[in-house]
Amino acid sequence: MTTPERPQIYLLTPPEFELSAFPARLDEVLDSHEIACLRLSLATRDEDRIARSADAVREIAHAHDVALVIDSHVGLVERLGLDGVHLTDGARSVRKVRKDLGADAIVGAFCGASKHDGMNAGEAGADYIAFGPVGQTALGDGTIADYDLFEWWSQMIELPVVAEGALDEETIARLAPVTDFFAIGEEIWREDDAVAALTRLAARMG
């Protein structure tokens, strides 16, 4: 059996950020680490705010040759010049979104801890599957995407898999052999020094 390649970093923006300050922090993080993809993951549903945030983040991401996808808002992808979308409803809308956005767009699907959902999303045309949360959190219903799910996926399915939600150094070290990407966001942005926080987490990726 071949040794899997080292997992890559899939960076998430904070759910809220100040346009006056965040772009500089993001630029610093993208300068310091190789990032495979960036997800605009805002809590707001204010279209104007999302658009202004996307413009600022896209400029920095593309300057670093990093693809930018957005959480859920399929209708904004082409309008805002983004590279794709991260769907949060499992396999349900993957087929339609793939048809709408075309073959070149990135379409990812978050499937909780459901192997079945993940397989269906892959068959419907998703580029990657995300499972999570992978650590203890009071959010959601308490279901955790465990090591066995990632191990099974990495052995049986070729489609890239992302581990996300409640990551820490210990969880990253445990899952590193069986995942392709770690989706890291609040884990670093809540720290004063995001670069140092990401460096600590990245050190445990193998």
pLDDT band of 3, cuts 50, 70, 90: very low
Q: List the chain domain ranges.
A: 8-202
Q: What is the pLDDT of residues 16-47, one digit of tens each?
A: 999 999 999 999 999 999 999 999 999 999 99
Contact 108, 129 (CB under 8 A): yes
Average pLDDT (140-159) is 95
pLDDT of residue 1: 31
pLDDT of residue 137: 86
Percentage of residues of the chain with pLDDT beyond 90 = 94
**Is it the case that residue 188 has pLDDT exceeding 80?**
yes
State the pTM of this model. 0.96
**Is it the case that residue 152 has pLDDT exceeding 60?**
yes
User: By mean pLDDT, which of 97-101, 133-137, 157-161 is the weakest?
Assistant: 133-137
pLDDT of residue 140: 78
Of residues 92 and 139, more confidence is placed in 92
Average pLDDT (166-188) is 97
pLDDT of residue 138: 81
Q: What is the mean pLDDT of the chain?
A: 96
pLDDT of residue 139: 78
Q: Which residues, in sequence order, are bridge partners of residue 37?
A: 10, 67
Architecture of the structural domain at 8-202: Alpha-Beta Barrel (3.20)
pLDDT band of 124, cuts 50, 70, 90: very high
Distance (Å, whole) CA 21 – CA 30:
15
Average pLDDT (150-157) is 97
pLDDT of residue 84: 98
